[in-house]
């Protein structure tokens, strides 16, 4: 079992940067695929895929954030990061860290473990 805790959210001006962190606890972190999803205001039923990194370090990012966001992991520290640059108003959301075993996917329903989320607000 894996417990996930996100941090690093906050208020940032458009064009600015934030780095989100996800701390994991539990065994076998190295073998988990880790991902970031986000849920925008007014879209409580929709968790949008942002980025994923598999146990081998392979990554994939959503087209909407490609070139601006980057996911990384530190297996020794059991941490996953989301570096967000050139933030836009439409990036404002609650960002969630999620974990699953085996292959990397972009479908939130396939992820077994979730953190509580961290709020990102982008001002004009």
**What pLDDT shows up at residue 69?**
98
Q: Residue 45: pLDDT above 90?
A: no
CB contact at 8 A, 33 and 98: no
CB contact at 8 A, 53 and 36: no
Secondary structure of residue 43 in the 3-state scheme = coil
Nearest to 12 by CA among 68, 51, 52, 76: 68
Residue with structure tokens 């836009």? 88
* 61-118 confidence digits (pLDDT tens): 999 999 999 999 999 999 999 999 999 999 999 999 999 998 899 999 999 999 999 9
Average pLDDT, rounded, for the chain: 95
- Could you tell me which residue, 102 or 17, shows the higher pLDDT? 17
Confidence of residue 32 (pLDDT cuts 50, 70, 90): very high
Burial of 110 (0-12, 13-18, 19+ CB in 10 A): middle
Q: Residue 121: pLDDT above 80?
A: yes
**What pLDDT shows up at residue 44?**
76
């Amino acid at each position: 079992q894996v417990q996930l805790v996100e941090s690093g959210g906050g208020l940032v001006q458009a064009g600015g940067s934030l780095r989100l962190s996800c701390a994991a606890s539990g065994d076998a972190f190295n073998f988990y695929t880790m991902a970031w999803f986000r849920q925008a205001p007014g879209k409580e039923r929709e968790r949008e895929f942002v980025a994923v990194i598999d146990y081998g370090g392979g990554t994939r990012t959503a087209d909407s954030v490609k070139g601006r966001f980057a996911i990384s992991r530190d297996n020794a520290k059991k941490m996953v990061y989301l570096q967000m640059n050139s933030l836009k108003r439409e990036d404002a959301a609650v960002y969630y860290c999620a974990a699953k075993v085996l292959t990397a996917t972009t479908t939130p329903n396939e992820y077994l473990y979730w953190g509580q989320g961290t709020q990102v607000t982008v001002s004009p």
